[in-house]
Structure 1
Amino acid sequence: MSFTRFQSFQKYTRYVLSAILLLVIMASGCRNTSFIQPGDTLEVAYEKALALYEDEKWDEAAGAFSAVLTLGRGSIVAQDAQFYLAEANYKNKRYLVAASEYERFTLLYPDSPRRETADLNIARCYYELSPRYKLDQTYTVQAIENFNIFLSRYPSSEYREEAIASIDALREKLAQKIYSAADFYRRTQRYEAAVLTYGEVIDQYPETAWAEQSLVEQMESYILYADNSVSDRQRERYQKALDVYDTYLQLFPRGESRTRIEELFDEAEAAIASFSSNTSTASR
């Protein structure tokens, strides 16, 4: 390459690089104007925050609405800013933060027409935070409580069915957690703890899918408990198994586990009959 051509190439390269740099600066400048700047009025700051929200830039929108609230907590735009702050966090799946911001909204603006949405979304946040059944269920309980509050406050809401279905799903999870604990006790031969814990499922969550199976496992656990008890306590515990059978027939007369429960009934009844036979023989 000649020296002249090399100089021309250098000038062209500098021109291209300068053009690229200018475009970057211009783009950066355009981008920056969409964010709140020092000196922006409260109204301008709010409009910028709303534009970010409408562009689904949830992180930036949440930060912008926080800035708006810092600038004018008691202003005319504060109510909308507080609501959109909660909404931006909710849509960004920051559920714990969103729940807190919705709660703040309901405390500050209890008569707002958006109160129903805020109350519903508080419950939805805790629903989303509810973990799988093996983990701590604090958020599950909070979700149920908030859905119940929602149903009490808005009995004719168009979201009534959603709230009921959500409560049902959450209660299934709580029932499964207790059932899992009872099953663990049974498998580790802690039969007394097992029958009591299966009883919790039946007493607290009778409408769930875990109630019928809990009755079956409770009856089997009573039989195993009796089998492994001292002779003076066996008859009493076999009888408790038969009591569970009666409860099963009352709650699930056409239950899917009817065949199994009948087998357990025969086993417990035969064990009690053997006691009667032994007692009769001993008295002769």
Structure 2
Amino acid sequence: MRLRTVFLLFVSVLVVSCGEYEKLLKSTDYDLKYTKLKEYYDQGKYAKASELINQIIPVYRATEKAEELTWMNAQSYLNMRDYLLAGVEFKNYADMYVYGQHIEEAVFMSAMCKYYLSPRPELDQDYTLQAIEDFQIFIGRFPSSPRVTDAARYIDELSEKLAKKAFLSAKLYYDMKQYRAAVVSLENCLNKYPASKYREEMMYIKLNARFLYAENSIQSKQTERYQDVLDDYFSFIEEFPKTVYAKEVAGIFQTVNKKLKIENINQ
């Protein structure tokens, strides 16, 4: 009986609260809405705060309160994990209030929202590219900021994601036995992302792709292409003398040497 009473009391309070909020939304008392949205914001009721901000901000656009409202709206979306709208609001703040109280954080958080929206490497990387660009803008604009180190770290992380996507695309050619396309694509990856943590694996697959391309070539082209394999082999061993692929690349080297010796004898 007691639990039922408590439950009914809770429901009645909720109904009254919802009713008050609905009345507030319909009200034309903008000062009251401003006061209440700040209360909601302080209480962590970000959805209600944001809804009210979006209602009243056109009214306060030319006032001193507009900057505060734009900032609170961005923070509300951020706390609701709506990174798309949060990013829009942080950028709005940065564009409209270039000397604002929160300008440095707004520029940084605009980039962070793109960072949060950046998907796994297999998917489209538009947000990743936008995040990198925004972090670079932040570093250029606030070079003395303590957040520059974080921004640089995020750029490296996002660049590695782009490298992985490019690597996966190149590897797809290899898996499809399109070895020439794999070699070209992997060369592009290695040139574009020279510091990638996938570099050793990229170079190994490129070596293997070049070897298989030579193996499947017409006889008149094989000598030249086997020489290309050896060039890749020596580059690989020079860069990774203690490679985890030592056994595999040694096998390629031995096979190619035998092929070239046989061809030289036949000539």
Residue 194 of structure 1 is matched in structure 2 by: 182
Consecutive unaligned residues in structure 1, runs of 5 or more: 1-15, 280-284
- Structure 2 CA distance, aligned partners of 1:276 and 1:140? 51
More divergent stretch after superposition (147-156 vs 186-195) = 147-156
1:28 has 2:10 as partner: no
In 1: Cα distance, 2:66 partner to 2:167 partner: 48
Preserved CA contact (<8 Å) 1:62 1:85: yes
Task: Give percent identity, aligned residues only.
Answer: 29
**Equivalent of 2:29, from 37, 40, 58?**
40
Kept in 1: contact 2:46–2:76 (CA 8 A): yes
Asked if residue 97 in structure 1 is aligned to residue 79 in structure 2, the reply is no
Q: CA RMSD in A?
A: 2.7
Describe the shift of the 1:267–1:149 C-alpha distance in structure 2 as closer, same or farther (beyond 3 A).
Answer: farther
Partner of 1:64 in structure 2?
A: 52
> For residues 131 and 226 of structure 1, do their structure 2 counterparts lie closer, same or farther at Cα, with a shift above 3 Å needed?
same
Q: Which residues in structure 2 correspond to 1:216-235 (within 5 Å)? A: 216-235=204-223
**CA distances 1:6-41 after superposition (whole Å, capped 9, x unpaired):** xxxxxxxxxx99xx69x9379615972695562424
Query: Higher mean Cα deviation, 115-124 or 149-158?
Result: 149-158
Q: In structure 2, which of residues 125, 132, 156 is the aligned counterpart of residue 137 of structure 1?
A: 125
Residue 40 of structure 1 aligns with an amino acid whose one-letter code is D
Contact 2:30–2:56 at 8 Å: present in 1 too?
A: no
Q: List aligned pairs for 1:1-284, cutoff 5 A.
A: 24=12, 28=16, 32=20, 35=24, 38-42=27-31, 44-279=32-267
- The structure that has the greater radius of gyration is 1
- Normalised by the length of structure 1, the TM-score is 0.82
Q: Give me the whole-angstrom Cα distance separating, in 1, the residues matched to 2:200 and 2:249.
A: 10
Gaps of 5+ in 2: none
Q: Secondary structure at the match of 1:113?
A: coil
| TM-score normalized with structure 2 length | 0.87
Q: Distance in 2 between matches of 1:137 and 1:26?
A: 43
State whether residues 215 and 248 of structure 1, in contact with CA within 8 Å, keep that contact through their aligned partners in structure 2: yes
Rounded Cα–Cα distance in structure 2 between residues aligned with 1:256 and 1:163:
33
Secondary structure at the residue paired with 1:209?
coil
SS of the residue aligned with 2:143? coil
Following the alignment from structure 1 to structure 2, what is the Cα–Cα distance between the partners of residues 198 and 255?
18
Task: Give, in whole Å, the separation in 1 of the partners of 2:18 and 2:170.
Answer: 62
- String of CA shifts for 1:96-138, please: whole Å, max 9, x gaps: 1111111111111111131111111111111111111111111
How many Å separate the matches in 2 of 1:160 and 1:250?
Answer: 35
